[in-house]
Structure 1
Amino acid sequence: MAVPELVTEYEPEKVDVTPRAPAMDGCAFEQSALIQCDIGSDPDLSMSGTECLSLNVTVPPDTSVSGVLPVMIFIHGGGFIMGGSHWPQHDPCRLVKMSVEMDMPVVVVNINFCLGILGNLTSEELRKAGYSGNNSLRGQQCALRWVNKFIGGFGGDGDNVTVFGESAGAGESNVHSFSSLLSEWLCEGGHTGVNLVSTLHQLSAEEPFFKRAISMSGTPLMLQPMSASTAEASYNSIIKAAGLGSASTQERINHFLNISPEELVKIPMNVPLILFQDNDILPQTQRLRTCETITSHF
């Protein structure tokens, strides 16, 4: 549950990037519970709650390391509890192939980030112990910085990035595109923050790691971040389900730091493990203005 850290250099200078990195623990839920037919999976794929912060880079054939191709970064959906860049339906090979056929080649990046307990579990005692929460968002932020720094080595242009996402990822992608000026115009009270998704939206002004965003089947208003009281109630429900009601604070923290995939899937699905309004990476909750009358059309 530690905050993700950006890798800034690699040793040796050349790194083999062909092996698949581990996926997030528990991310295969939808494949077994919601999809009614086998869509296939990589039999060699491993899972890890600590080594899952990875990304896949898909490039057109014969791409030179010149850093000139536009880049698209995909943020998967799954309600912050499931999904992964390795899912067959998220394979961007066809998208990259189509871009070549249209003579508009792109580099596509799929990112993984922490989900469920490891991504969004929070409580007062966890925060006091140094575990800040909202790591799903922090992981996305780290991935954006990585792409900006290293995508040139794959033929991509780090200054020409489009973020796009589906469902929960769409809501995030949508907010990422808000500049501080647009945020002030949209939000009540003149604040520059926007609800949902991290301070990533500020990167468009302060650290321009993307230029545009595509939102597919999701908006920033579809799910408000949890308040402190709601997050505490979720934490208490999980404590009860795990049989840790009489455990000490340190015992509970140790349990979550060492939780197994088998324990992860036992967490009740009706317990919210979404974004938390921490007034740090997620600012004060905002709402879109409502208009008394419509004065123009566009």
Structure 2
Amino acid sequence: MAGKQTLLHPEIGTISGIDAGQGVSQFLGIQYATIEDRFAPAVLKEYDGKGLDALKVGPQTAPLPQGAQHEQDLIQHRLPETDVHFLETEGLNLNITVPASHDFEKDGKLPIFLFIHGGGFMVSSASYPQYDMARFVRLSIARDLPIIAISMNYRLGPPGLLTSREMREYGYPSNNALRDQRVAMEWVRKYMSGFGGDIDNITLAGESAGAIACTYHLQSRQPLFTRMMAMSGTSLLTPPLPLEVAEQGYQTAIKALGLEGKPVEERMEKLRRMDAGELRAKCAAVPMLPVADEKMPITGHSFANFKTGKVEIAGASWCEAMMIGDCGFDGSIQGLRLVHRKKGIGKAFCDAIHKSLSSQHAEKLLSGYGISADTDDDMAFERVLQTFNDIGFYAPTIAYAEGFGIKTYMYRFNENNPWQGPWQGRATHILDVALLFQNFNDYLDDTQLRTADAFACSVFKFVHGKEPWEAWGGGAGKVAWVLGPDGMSRTVEDVPAKTGRRPTLLDLAKELGGGLDQLAEVLNGFLKAPLAT
């Protein structure tokens, strides 16, 4: 069992944490905000100076039995189980990992790496063992680039994203998930100096939905962080829902909950009091995504906006640099949405593409991915997922690099998944973050360990404000750093032939009047279509 470690914080008081070994201390489950009920605004946590215990990870914000294991199954390898429970009112907590022996008075405060987990805004938790930052920080010390790492929890599902006009008028704001994250950033700026953190040197990082959130936080009019890292996700993957669509979703939820025709007060009472699991289950058909929000602000942009330079994102004036990238087969995650349509998917996809595009353009797309009506179901399924990979994960990284207007470092993660499962041998979604935090090192071979080490060390440099590799669009041109396969890493021209990506959608977009936005509409239409009967 890990020993105790204490820290005297000037505002919080004495904090009891754990000695995580090899020069690393952790302060876990620290509540950064309070809420009156599941939909109420998060309020920054204040302290009485009497200190607190931070000896174990805090509760998750959603009722997710075996949630950590289910997410690890997507990675295709499980870690030893840990106890993570659910407690709504205390779920807004964070975990802090620091170098134990760093002399902050003598050597200065350390840069901060603040991480937002993914999970589609519906599942996951910073409390899961795959997000333990002890090995990550330990490696930063060994590489003489020490950092402080923090992971945060935020509200998911209905408490995080259900909204309507009457909820907002009642005092329940939209986008609680994103607002929670903003409060966590506020907490970091207010209190992390007492942990030895440099609050003027914060890197906000996220993966998947966490990366989408990062790109939305770039829209803040007020500076929130120093630099940003987006792993396999941007606002182009998940545009904000228009308020009228969110309103329709709310009415669907009200009907499912049996609250039609009830007074507003009765509706609100039921929403905030009913069992959390029941609420999630009955709202399963309601899209739980960020919504357009003028106050934050949260607005959507198109591929065309980025291409033509018509993107006005406030963060371009205050975010110093961006690291952005994708995995070779991020599209694996969309398999969760399409697996029930796997039988006959080749023909269904071909029919949908021919219905949406001219015969010439449809054939270019289908031949580019090797999909035909009689393609074997397993092969067709994988190739269809490749199209969603390229429109949802690959193309947006280029759009952000071209159109955002700040120094950008592009990476392409191509290390193959070594574990048995449907996508063994592919660079699957979530694999990059699994290797980055070093928590699967005991199950990797030497080549994969080289990739994990190289990726982490490049991130340490970025967090320290150093150049991890040549910037995209700089003196060397449009370049990307390719990690893997087989432990290799190198900087190459960021073109499909050299990065292991496919040119089909990028080339086809040049021939279409609607460009990538038209292709996104076509492909997402198939993704969201109901199963044919």
TM norm structure 2: 0.47
Going from structure 1 to structure 2, the CA distance change for 1:167 and 1:279 (only over 3 Å counts) comes to same
Correspondence 1:57 to 2:96: yes
What amino acid is the match of 1:94?
Answer: R
Within 5 Å, which residues of 2 pair with 1:254-273? 254-273=269-288
Q: Out of 307, 311, 315, which is 1:290 matched to? A: 307
Matched residues in 2 for 1:28 and 1:106: separation? 32
Q: CA deviation at 1:210?
A: 1.5
Q: CA deviation at 1:154?
A: 1.5
State the match for 2:293 in structure 1: 278
Matched residues in 1 for 2:67 and 2:247: separation? 26
Q: CA deviation at 1:165?
A: 0.3
Correspondence 1:239 to 2:254: yes
Going from structure 1 to structure 2, the CA distance change for 1:148 and 1:28 (only over 3 Å counts) comes to farther
State the match for 1:84 in structure 2: 125
Going from structure 1 to structure 2, the CA distance change for 1:283 and 1:261 (only over 3 Å counts) comes to closer
**Deviations 1:202-241 (Å, cap 9, x if unpaired)?**
232xxxx411011100112111111111101111222222
**Deviations 1:50-100 (Å, cap 9, x if unpaired)?**
211111101123245646111100011111111111011111112111101
Q: CA deviation at 1:30?
A: 4.6
Correspondence 1:42 to 2:82: yes
Higher mean Cα deviation, 81-90 or 63-72?
A: 63-72
Matched residues in 1 for 2:67 and 2:57: separation? 20
State the match for 2:164 in structure 1: 123
Going from structure 1 to structure 2, the CA distance change for 1:97 and 1:267 (only over 3 Å counts) comes to farther
Matched residues in 2 for 1:109 and 1:54: separation? 10
Q: CA deviation at 1:27?
A: 4.3
Going from structure 1 to structure 2, the CA distance change for 1:32 and 1:70 (only over 3 Å counts) comes to closer
State the match for 2:240 in structure 1: 225
Going from structure 1 to structure 2, the CA distance change for 1:29 and 1:230 (only over 3 Å counts) comes to farther
Gaps of 5+ in 1: 179-193
State the match for 2:43 in structure 1: 5
Q: CA deviation at 1:33?
A: 5.0
Residue 128 of structure 1: SS of its match in structure 2?
A: helix
Matched residues in 2 for 1:265 and 1:41: separation? 24
Q: Out of 146, 161, 176, which is 2:202 matched to? A: 161
Matched residues in 2 for 1:28 and 1:165: separation? 23
Is contact 2:240–2:298 with CA below 8 Å preserved after alignment? no
State the match for 1:185 in structure 2: none
Is contact 2:68–2:129 with CA below 8 Å preserved after alignment? no
Matched residues in 1 for 2:65 and 2:229: separation? 25
Q: Out of 26, 39, 42, which is 2:63 matched to? A: 26
Residue 158 of structure 2: SS of its match in structure 1?
A: helix
Correspondence 1:15 to 2:52: yes
Is contact 2:59–2:127 with CA below 8 Å preserved after alignment? no
Matched residues in 2 for 1:258 and 1:90: separation? 31
Residue 212 of structure 2: SS of its match in structure 1?
A: helix
State the match for 1:184 in structure 2: none
Is contact 1:55–1:112 with CA below 8 Å preserved after alignment? yes
Going from structure 1 to structure 2, the CA distance change for 1:129 and 1:72 (only over 3 Å counts) comes to same
Q: Out of 175, 180, 191, which is 1:150 matched to? A: 191
Q: CA deviation at 1:108?
A: 0.4
What amino acid is the match of 1:11?
Answer: D
What amino acid is the match of 1:159?
Answer: D
Matched residues in 2 for 1:238 and 1:63: separation? 51
Q: CA deviation at 1:164?
A: 0.4
**Deviations 1:128-182 (Å, cap 9, x if unpaired)?**
2111121111111111111111112222111111010000111222344x4xxxx
Is contact 1:26–1:264 with CA below 8 Å preserved after alignment? no
Q: CA deviation at 1:104?
A: 0.7
What amino acid is the match of 1:42?
Answer: T
Write 1 or 2 for the structure with the bigger share of helix. Answer: 2
Matched residues in 2 for 1:75 and 1:34: separation? 15
Gaps of 5+ in 2: 1-38, 310-401, 403-472, 479-533
Matched residues in 1 for 2:211 and 2:130: separation? 16
Is contact 1:162–1:213 with CA below 8 Å preserved after alignment? yes
What amino acid is the match of 2:236?
Answer: L
Residue 177 of structure 2: SS of its match in structure 1?
A: helix
Correspondence 1:72 to 2:87: no
Going from structure 1 to structure 2, the CA distance change for 1:29 and 1:123 (only over 3 Å counts) comes to farther
Count of residue pairs brought into register by the alignment: 268
